[in-house]
Amino acid sequence: MKDLKYKQQESEYLTMSRLLLTIIFFLVTIVLLVIGFFSETDFADIGKTLIGVWVLYFFLFWYQKAAYNRYSYAMDHQGLYINHGVLWRKKIVIPRNRVQHTDIAQGPLDRQFDLAELVIHTAGTRNASVKLVGVFREDAEDLRESLSFDESNDAV
């Protein structure tokens, strides 16, 4: 397991995440300004709220980069390995012989950046599905093929 070559999420995933975050916070800002304009709320209170909202924005903007730096994955003949987490770090191991099936999902923004999410469903009851996010669609399809069940490895 020490010899594995871990790969990081694609940089487009960080760009997409930050773009989505920015859009959401601009919409929140507009809503707060409209509420402030049409209500009898003091603009100083709206200003304080906006400062708080944008402090949260910059924290989340930084956090996304930290999470991106900590997310990595590797694949070998035994299975898939995923490391992630900023404050609480997780190492997930998905043995190939526990994989039931896989799905590839893409949202509208994912398609714009040619990204995909590989969902791996395992033979288990707790956390029976694991998501690998921030990979190019072609890489997700390659990983999906690599995780396909090989009857020669069947223990039964």
Contact criterion met (CB below 8 Å) for 51 and 70: no
Checking if the pLDDT of 119 tops 70, the result is yes
Domain coordinates in residue numbering, the chain: 1-149
CATH number for the segment(s) 1-149: 2.30.29.30
pTM for the predicted model, two decimal places: 0.84
* Model pLDDT for residues 36-60, shown as the tens digit of each residue: 888 887 778 888 989 999 999 999 9
Give me the percent of the chain exceeding a pLDDT of 90. Answer: 71
* Model pLDDT for residues 89-116, shown as the tens digit of each residue: 999 999 998 899 999 999 999 999 999 9
Half-sphere exposure of residue 52: CA atoms within 13 angstroms, side-chain side: 7
Range 88-93, long-range pairs (CB < 8 A, 24+ positions): 92/130
